[in-house]
Amino acid sequence: MVVLVAAALFLCPPKQNEGATAGGTVPSPVQKIFVPIVFKPANTPTPTPPPVIATVPVGKAPFGVGLNPTSNCVHVSNAGYNSVSVIDGTNNTVVATVPVGSYPRGVGVNPTTNRVYVANYYSNTVSVIDGATNAIVATVPVGSFPYGLGTNPTPNHVYVANSSDSPVSLIDGRSNTVISTMPAGGGPYGVGVNPTTNRVYVSNSLDNTVTVIADGP
């Protein structure tokens, strides 16, 4: 696209006797020229989208995904098969399948302890998986219909959004027990954690709000 911001303009000389002075002298014609200035935007290259390098078959109705950047393992909850598929991020293949509770939804990973947490929607529990052995090491009862969860590695805390009865369950990752519950809005679903500021964010689907929790050791 070319943008023209000024056009050429020429002023005609005055007519005969126009502008004569008292002595009868006619001033010289004055000509003004406006040069057109044209701006031509630089061509912006179209960004190339990142390539899809693999498609990995997992279980039925995959839902939640949790990643451990240290071990380069990806954990996928299969809601239709009540299991978690473990993907090796090096070669993008499933290396293990771990049975969990009924209708697993959210997945959270603590990369420091290499523990994987899976919210089991219909079982009202959270399955705790040892990422090194892919074995279940604990099953923690929580609230009704747990959906999303998030981990805070430094204090070793796990926050679980119970979508039916609204409270958020706080699991101590050392003892695998619920040590506290706190109110949230209606229908809490998603959980996000900022480990730098120790803030936990819970999305409330029925209230159109986000609950902010101050975490700590």
The edge-to-edge listing of strands for the beta sheet with 177-182 is 146-152, 157-162, 168-172, 177-182
Please report whether residue 128 resides in a domain.
yes
**Predicted model pTM:** 0.80
Please report whether residue 22 resides in a domain.
no
Domain count, the chain: 1
Q: Quick one: DSSP state of residue 176?
A: T
CA distance 70 to 60: 27
Closest by CA position to 165, among listed 152, 190, 192, 147? 147
Average pLDDT over residues 12-39: 56
Q: Are 187 and 125 in contact (CB under 8 A)?
A: no
Please report whether residue 3 resides in a domain.
no
| Tokens representing residue 123 in the block | 């079982």
Find the CATH number of the domain harbouring 156: 2.130.10.10
Please report whether residue 9 resides in a domain.
no
Where do runs of H (alpha helix) occur along 125-190?
A: none
Please report whether residue 20 resides in a domain.
no
Q: Which pLDDT tens digit goes with each residue over 119-172?
A: 999 999 999 999 999 999 999 999 999 999 999 999 999 999 999 977 999 999
Please report whether residue 89 resides in a domain.
yes
Q: Which pLDDT tens digit goes with each residue over 36-73?
A: 666 666 777 888 999 999 999 999 999 999 999 999 99
Counting beta carbons within 10 angstroms of the beta carbon of residue 170, is it exposed (0 to 12), middle (13 to 18) or buried (19 or more)? buried
**Residue 23 in this model has a pLDDT that exceeds 90:** no
Which domain does 99 fall in, by range?
62-214
Neighbours of 195 (CB within 10 A): 16
Q: Are 106 and 149 in contact (CB under 8 A)?
A: yes
Neighbours of 86 (CB within 10 A): 22
Residue 44 has a pLDDT of: 78
